[in-house]
Structure 1
Amino acid sequence: MQNDEKRIINQDEKNEDIKIINERNHKLNNVKELGNQEIPMPPEDIHFISIIGEIEGHIVAQPQKKATKYEHIIPQLLAAERDPKIKGLLILINTVGGDVEAGLALSEMINSMSKPKVSLILGGGHSIGVPLATSSDYSYIVPTATMTLHPIRMTGLVIGVPQTFRYFQKMQQRILDFILRTSDISREYLKQLMYETDEIANDVGTILIGQEAVECGLIDEVGGLDKAIAKLYELMES
């Protein structure tokens, strides 16, 4: 009987030692990967998605670049739409742009979700990041963030035949139509900003900073994380 009790005590001690070792390894891994021992768990009623760096589509981005793979975001959006515990979606954006079709596909998917969604532009929402920002029910931009509007361009491609030019026109029209459908900017003003020649050196387009993006009707409001989360809960409750 005493031997059985000793075995139980020894096993409990071993289990406690294993638990301590696992906790220590978990903290060390957090410090190594994120620079912090403890990571607060977000509430289950909101799903957070971050879109950073370059939007990677059908072609793999260069290894030295930060990239958001659209095949990683699509399953998250599908799961968020289907999960009854998730009541809203918060999209954090800091992107330089990237693959046009991948970015537009993500924008359409976000826009078609039935659950409330709020977007927040942190550093930048450039190029195809513009429709990603306007795809939500309500959009915010921090005062120092920027948005770059410009026509579709492809490095190294020379438009040598009419068919190629028409293809670019159709791609551009898809982006224009989506932005107009999901924001308050007018078609004439949007095209004017996209084809501005005095704003960007050696290029065509316009850079909007914080409040400017709101004044032209692209973004709903200037604000940070606190306002974005508060607005999402407001939409979820209504």
Structure 2
Amino acid sequence: MNLSEILERRRLRRRVGWWRAAALVVAVLLVVALYKAYGGAEPGTMLARPHVAQLSVSGVVADDPVMLETIREIGEDPAAKALVVSLSTGGGTTFGGEALYKALRQVAERKPVVSEIRTQAASAGYMIALAGDRIFAGDTSITGSIGVIFLYPQAKELLDKIGVSVDAIKSAPMKAEPSPFNDASQEAQAMVRALVMDSYDWFVDLVAARRDMPRERALELADGRILTGRQAVEAGLVDEIGGRDEIMAYLAANGVSDSLEIRSWDNVNRDGFGVGLAKMGARLLESLGLGWFVSEDILRQTGLVDGLVSVGQTDWQ
């Protein structure tokens, strides 16, 4: 066999390899298309059988459009007969808690919603828990911390020590106040306090309404204190100590079959098929030398890879 024949065979082998890879990609896309066509094109249809939906709220509470959309889908999905919100969060932004609370109350207009305080549901986390028709907690779960705080840095003394000053021309005295470059004036402090107290009053009213207690009692509990699950039951902030068995018993008493499985919606992909299926396809393509097709950048854009998130807030609740 001469050199030209060897080179020709190599070229032919490469062409055949590429055609095989292309055929495999087409096959994978066809499977996904068929899955979406017959398994349901809307997000969450992988959970087509009747079930109790479960959604986890953990870490820092913030404005989360993806979770809000998932909550909306659970509310509209006839297969989800109830929703269990599992909470392990110490709080976050007041607006983030408010948005999740309101979204969950919309679901509660259609089906039972239960709040399950696991590790903790404090501050904005407790605000979210208030959306449940019934609140469960563990004996040693942490909750409470009802209140609002506004934090801002103060670097004036440090700048004075190193001989740096910052001047500003403002349209009005309260613009960009409080500033880290100068001590807050009494007017600025009063402005921030009014902002904090307005949100605080809203929170207290919410506690009083949702826990069916006098506002004076809610105000007494809203001093920033934290409580264990047992203390919270005694205080009227939590309904019952319990876990999944107690939750299912409550749902059964409210028209939801206790034979239904609790299924997590945490990892339902936005395209209507599970993360597991997508990742299996990714590994298959990588094994065939097509890893570029499912690079981390692409997966991150489709929501399949968790990324490092840095959050800086001044209105922690």
Alignment of 1:115-154 (within 5 A): 115-154=111-150
Out of 228, 236, 240, the residue aligned to residue 221 of structure 1 is 240
Alignment of 1:81-160 (within 5 A): 81-113=75-107, 114=109, 115-156=111-152, 160=188
CA shift, 1:53, in A, is: 1.2
**CA–CA distance in 2 between the matches of 1:119 and 1:150?**
17
CA shift, 1:161, in A, is: 4.2
More strand by share: 1
Number of residues paired by the alignment?
179
- Partners of 2:59 and 2:72 lie apart in 1 by 22
Q: 1:194 aligns with which of 214, 219, 222?
A: 222
3-state SS of 1:87 partner? strand
Q: Tell me, in whole angstroms, the C-alpha distance in 1 between the residues paired with 2:73 and 2:134.
A: 21
Q: Quick one: which amino acid aligns to residue 230 of structure 2?
A: Q
Paired position in structure 2 for 1:174: 202
RMSD after superposition: 2.4
Question: CA 1:173–1:231 in structure 2 vs 1: closer, same or farther (change >3 Å)?
Answer: same
Q: What residue is the counterpart of 1:45 in the other structure?
A: 51
One-letter identity of the residue aligned with 1:78: R
Distance 1:121 1:42 in 2: 27
Cα distance in 1 for residues equivalent to 2:80 and 2:143:
29
* Equivalent residues of 1:88, 1:117 under 8 A apart: yes
Alpha-carbon deviation of 1:91? 0.6
Alignment deviations for residues 131-169 of structure 1 (CA, whole Å, 9 cap, x no partner): 211211111011110113242112226572433222211
Query: Structure 2: how far apart are the matches of 1:99 and 1:110?
Result: 17
Amino acid corresponding to residue 232 of structure 1 in structure 2: L
Q: Is the 8 A contact 2:150 2:196 kept in 1?
A: no
TM-score, structure 2 as length reference: 0.52
Superimposed CA distance per residue, residues 58-102 of structure 1 (whole angstroms, 9 cap, x where no aligned partner): xxxxxxxxxxxx222211111111111111101101101001111
Shift of 1:43: 6.2
Identify the residue that residue 79 of structure 1 maps to in structure 2.
73
2:48/2:79 contact within 8 Å kept: no
- Give the greater-gyration-radius structure (CA): 2
8 Å contact from structure 2 (residues 68, 100) kept in 1: yes
Matched with 2:308 is none
Kindly, what percent of the aligned residue pairs are identical? Answer: 25
CA distance in 2, matches of 1:142, 1:225: 11
| Aligned 1:51-66 pairs, distance under 5 A | 51-57=57-63
CA distance in 2, matches of 1:93, 1:72: 17
How big is each residue's C-alpha offset from its partner over 1:104-136, in whole Å with a ceiling of 9 and x where there is no partner? 111122123221111110110111111211211
Structure 1 distance, partners of 2:152, 2:247, is: 39
- Deviation, 1:193, is 2.7
Equivalent residue of 1:112, what SS? helix
Q: Which has the higher contact order (CA 8 A, sep 6+)?
A: 2
Per-residue CA deviations over 1:18-46 (Å, capped at 9, x if unaligned) read: 9xxxxxxxxxxxxxxxxxxxxxx896421
Q: Does the 8 Å CA contact 1:93/1:122 hold for their aligned counterparts?
A: yes
